[in-house]
Every structure is written in structure tokens, then in C-alpha cells.
Amino acid sequence: MNLQPQLFHNEQHGTTSDDYYTPPEVFETLGLEFDIDVCSPPGGIHWIPTRNYYTQADDGLLSEWYGRVWLNPPYSSPQQWIEKFIAHGDGVALVQVSKARWFNRLWASPVPMVLNRADFKFIATDGTYKGVFMPTCFIALGDECVEALGRLGHVR
């Protein structure tokens, strides 16, 4: 499998400020295969070990989620994605740490979480590694996902 980041741009859909992708090293460390990436760019991301994916055109919020889910939601409006993720109960998500009510509820919940280092980098649409202005964390639900989360750091 080619794990090298590459340019992500689709002439039909363009790119947005939410287009930052989880680096391949995360998936190598997790060692999991996902049934679906519910928030993927057109064509999917070749280094995410997933059997299927939903794009913006598929509307992952309205589509049925099944099996083990990977979620890196749009950070411009993550609340509904996180709520659906928690209701689904099986998967790993990469979310921003926020002063928003949805994050305060998440923090106060028993959902297992690993806070990322301040220098955590995403893959930008041009294929380069770039940081974002906010801290991030991984959350996991389901026994295998929580176990894998421990390979990324200290689980809270």
C-alpha cells in the first residue's frame, strides 16, 4: 500500500478550509482496519485502511454508519458528527479540542480520549504536513478501538 501523501483536489468539488487529512503514521500505529470513513474527500484517502467511504456528496450525516468507523469531521461544524459517532459506538475519531459546549460534554463523559501533542500535523491538500491552530485529540469507542487508542498515547 502506498502511504505517501499526495495532492487532494477535485475540480468538481474544490477544497475547503476543512480539508486537512490524518497522516498515515496514525493508521500504522493504530493497526486497525475500518469498515467506513464517514467523512472522506472524493476518491477516498488511499492510506486510510477502510473498506468504504462517504464523501460530501454521500452526506455522511444522513447515511447509515456500520461496523468500525473512522471519523475526521469538518472542524467548522463537528457537533453533529461527534454526536452520531458516540451514538454509533464503534470507531476512532480525530477531533479538535474546543471551548464549545459539545466538547465540554465530551470531556465530562467517560469517552476514552488521547490528547495530541501541540505539534501534531495533518496532511494539507498540497500533500505537505501542516499544523492547525487548535489542539486535537483522538476519541474511541468499542473495545478494540479503545485498545488501539492506547498505542497513540495515554488514554484518559
**Predicted confidence (pLDDT) per residue in 14-50, tens digit:** 444 568 899 999 999 999 999 999 999 999 999 999 9
Q: Specify if 92 maps to a domain.
A: yes
Q: Specify if 121 maps to a domain.
A: yes
Q: Specify if 52 maps to a domain.
A: yes
Q: Specify if 43 maps to a domain.
A: yes
Average per-residue pLDDT for the chain: 89
Three-state secondary structure call for residue 101: helix
Q: Specify if 102 maps to a domain.
A: yes
Q: Specify if 15 maps to a domain.
A: no
Q: Specify if 14 maps to a domain.
A: no
Tens of pLDDT, residues 124-133 = 989 999 988 8
Q: What percent of the chain has pLDDT over 70?
A: 88
Q: Specify if 9 maps to a domain.
A: no
CATH of the domain at 44: 3.40.50
Number of independent structural domains in the chain:
1
Q: What is the DSSP letter of 79?
A: H
Supply the range of the domain harboring residue 57. Answer: 24-149
Q: Chain centroid to CA 100: how far?
A: 18
Residue 95 CB-density burial (10 A; 0-12 exposed, 13-18 middle, 19+ buried): buried
